[in-house]
Amino acid sequence: MRRSVGGSNRSSLRPGLISLLTLVVMLSIATAAVLTIATSHAMAALSNRQANMTLEGYEAETSAQTMLALLDDELQSTSSAKAANEVKAIDKGMKSILSKACVDGVEATHKVTGNNIVCTFVTKGGRMLTTQIALLDGRTYDVVSWKLTATPQDDSSDDTLWSGPAAQE
């Protein structure tokens, strides 16, 4: 209780030491709780992202391996008389091969350059498997490259914090 200047007794709200201490402790625990829940959410999001990316990588791998098997079938079924036009014939058949080979969620395209067939398998999450296959002598092939990469996603445009002084002019 505090005595006022005028002499009358007026009670003012004065929290005690224990209340203040409790308030400080509760605020500290609340801060720790917010940080803990944010960290656990981030860990869960990171784990899910890792799981999805791994899954998509192997989806692309499955599609590419199936494509390889179907391409091998196509090469075996092609008669040696057609061998001269092998690449042209394979180029025509690649569309159906890729549509059969692709699992759900994987899109594939191909490009023929010389004796090489470059197939690209892209998943929804942005994983890209690029395979380059060289046709050797009509019935055999050689895998030149087999590269799995991650393509940048478009939804990261909002993450830009500062674009430099030129963007602000």
Q: Is residue 96 close enough to count as binding another protein by CB under 8 A?
A: no
Q: Which of residues 83, 87, 89, 103 is near another protein by CB under 8 A?
A: 103
Q: Which residues of 123-140 are buried (b: 16+ CB within 10 A; e: fewer)?
A: bebebbbbbbbebeebee
If the CB atoms of residues 29 and 84 are measured against another protein, the closer one turns out to be 29
If the CB atoms of residues 143 and 150 are measured against another protein, the closer one turns out to be 143
> What does the per-residue mask of binding to another protein show for 49-88, with x meaning CB under 8 A?
-xx--xx--xx-xx-xxx-xxx-xx--xx-----------
Residue 141 CA to chain centroid, in angstroms?
31
Minimal distance, residue 48 CB to another protein, in Å: 7
Minimal distance, residue 113 CB to another protein, in Å: 19
Q: Which of residues 30, 84, 85, 100 is near another protein by CB under 8 A?
A: 30
Minimal distance, residue 109 CB to another protein, in Å: 18
